[in-house]
């Protein structure tokens, strides 16, 4: 494997491991998640596949050269693209996380409180979108309090459905977003142990950069 191919694979691995969720937020996740948004991993895998196939990439002068050219050939000369010091126009541009959105996620995560003082059956933190869907597993039968926190502008609409299929609605409501979040609480009766499905849809302002968190707390806690 050429040095250039190894470099592209290293970049792909690094991009695949990058996550928009800051440290500390991931620990509140305990879910099976199905969302319709593109993820960084897709682009990273594409880079690795292109490198393995020997896809042509642009040289310093704008001409194409094999990804793994032999020594002595023009395409094998060391340069910013070969060393990683410059920007290779053939590589996909991976968008960087929005610092404001990351800060809002941290605020939303802190709003969940201390699970050692008020245990929750499940909690998570994420960014608002127009089609967020979360399948929550291992929720025992019983009565729950669903608390939603939204940080930012606008509002979000929430729907909770029973089991992993069907249209049995257990709870629905709207939660306003604010820079200092307050809990919007819904009562949820889990009819049988197992799945719940959580749907969240933001309005135009919320989808532009708001973050949210929610937690299920057994009312007997």
Give the residue among 182, 178, 171 at the shortest CA–CA distance from 136: 171
Mean pLDDT of 6-28: 50
**For residue range 169-210, what is the model confidence (pLDDT) as tens digits?**
999 999 999 999 999 999 999 999 999 999 999 999 999 999
Domains in the chain: boundaries: 3-29+36-83, 99-218
| Predicted local confidence at residue 56, as pLDDT | 34
Residues 6+ apart with CB under 8 A from 201: 130, 131, 132, 156, 157
- C-beta of residue 81 within 8 angstroms of C-beta of residue 4: no
Question: Which helix H or strand E contains 184, and what residues bound it?
Answer: strand 184-190
What does the alpha-carbon distance between residue 91 and residue 204 come to, in Å, rounded to a whole number? 31
**For residue range 26-67, what is the model confidence (pLDDT) as tens digits?**
445 444 444 433 333 333 344 344 444 433 333 333 344 444
| Residue 91 confidence (pLDDT) above 90 | no
With 0-12 / 13-18 / 19 or more C-beta atoms within 10 angstroms meaning exposed / middle / buried, residue 107 is: middle
Helix (H, G, I), strand (E, B) or coil at 17: helix
Round the average pLDDT of the chain to a whole number and report it: 74
| Predicted local confidence at residue 7, as pLDDT | 56
CATH of domain 99-218: 2.60.120.380
């Amino acid at each position: 494997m050429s040095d250039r191919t190894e470099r592209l694979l290293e970049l792909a691995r690094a991009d695949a491991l990058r996550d928009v969720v800051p440290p500390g937020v991931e620990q509140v996740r305990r879910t099976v998640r199905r969302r319709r948004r593109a993820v960084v991993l897709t682009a990273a895998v594409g880079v690795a596949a292109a490198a393995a196939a020997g896809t042509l990439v642009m040289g310093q002068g704008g001409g194409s050269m094999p990804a793994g050219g032999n020594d002595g050939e023009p395409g094998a000369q060391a340069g910013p693209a070969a060393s990683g010091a410059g920007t290779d126009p053939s590589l996909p541009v991976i968008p960087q996380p929005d610092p404001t959105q990351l800060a809002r996620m941290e605020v939303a995560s802190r709003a969940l409180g201390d699970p050692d003082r008020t245990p929750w059956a499940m909690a998570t933190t994420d960014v608002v979108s127009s089609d967020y869907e979360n399948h929550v597993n291992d929720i025992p039968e019983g009565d729950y309090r669903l608390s939603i926190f939204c940080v930012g502008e606008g509002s979000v609409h929430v729907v909770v459905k029973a089991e992993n299929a069907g249209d049995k609605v257990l709870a629905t409501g709207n939660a306003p977003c604010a820079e200092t979040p307050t809990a919007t609480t819904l009562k949820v009766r889990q009819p049988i142990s197992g799945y719940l499905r959580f749907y969240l849809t933001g309005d135009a302002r919320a989808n532009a950069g708001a973050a949210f968190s929610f937690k299920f707390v057994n009312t007997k806690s």
